[in-house]
């Protein structure tokens, strides 16, 4: 069981969600986050002054899947979120020890 944590552009949520849904991954959690990557934000010009905007608004999507589903789900997110420009985001894959469904008390695979 793995958690996929993807930081994406805000405007790419719809396309990522639709691609994940098409593969049957319905459950996900979205958080509004601010962050920066290796480029330390983006340079902007105000008149002649250079300015660096270092934290940019992004969305974090969290999806928990079975081990064998990691690669198709990650592919879907990459396809949905990519523009080819800097700032497309990053995906982290984290092992999950267990999961519990609150309504039934089911745990493990059955709870995901």
Partner 1 sequence: MPINAADTAWVLISAAMVMLMTPGVAFFYGGMVRRKNYLSTLMMSFITLGLIGLLWVIYGYSLCFGADKWGIIGGLNFFGLQGVGQTPSTVYANTIPQLAFAAFQMMFAVITVALITGAVVERIKFSSLLVFSALWFTLVYCPVAHWVWGAGGWLNKMGFLDFAGGTVVHITAGVSALALAIILGPRKGYHEGERMDPSNIPMVLLGAGILWFGWFGFNAGSALTSGGLASSAFMTTYIAGAAGAVTWMILGWCYQRPSVLGVATGAVAGLATITPAAGYVQPIIGIPIGIAASLIGFYCMAFRSKKTRIDESLDVWAVHGMGGTFGTLAAGFFASLAINAGGRNGLFYGHSAQVLIQLAGIASVWAFAFAMTWGLGKLVDITMGLRVSPTEESVGLDISQHGERAYGGWMR
Q: Give residues in contact with partner 1 (CB under 8 A).
A: 9, 11, 13-15, 34, 42, 44, 46, 51, 53, 55-57, 87
CB of 51 to partner 1, least distance (A): 8
Distance in angstroms (rounded) separating the CA atoms of residues 81 and 71: 15
Distance in angstroms (rounded) separating the CA atoms of residues 24 and 69: 10
* Residue number, 38 or 46, with CB nearest to partner 1: 46
Distance in angstroms (rounded) separating the CA atoms of residues 68 and 98: 16
Indicate the pairing of strand 2-8 with strand 89-95.
Answer: antiparallel
CB of 55 to partner 1, least distance (A): 6
CB of 105 to partner 1, least distance (A): 37
* Residue number, 56 or 99, with CB nearest to partner 1: 56
Indicate the pairing of strand 2-8 with strand 56-65.
Answer: antiparallel
* Residue number, 37 or 87, with CB nearest to partner 1: 87
């Amino acid at each position: 069981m793995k958690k996929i944590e993807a930081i994406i552009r805000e405007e790419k949520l719809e396309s990522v969600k639709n691609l994940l849904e098409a593969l049957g991954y319905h459950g996900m959690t979205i958080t509004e986050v601010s962050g920066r990557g290796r480029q330390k934000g983006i340079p902007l010009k105000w008149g002649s002054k250079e300015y660096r905007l270092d934290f940019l608004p992004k969305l974090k999507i969290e999806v928990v899947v079975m081990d064998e589903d990691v690669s198709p789900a990650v592919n879907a997110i990459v396809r949905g979120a990519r523009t080819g420009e800097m700032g497309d985001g990053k995906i982290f894959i984290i092992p999950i020890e267990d999961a519990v469904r609150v309504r039934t008390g089911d745990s493990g695979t059955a709870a995901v």
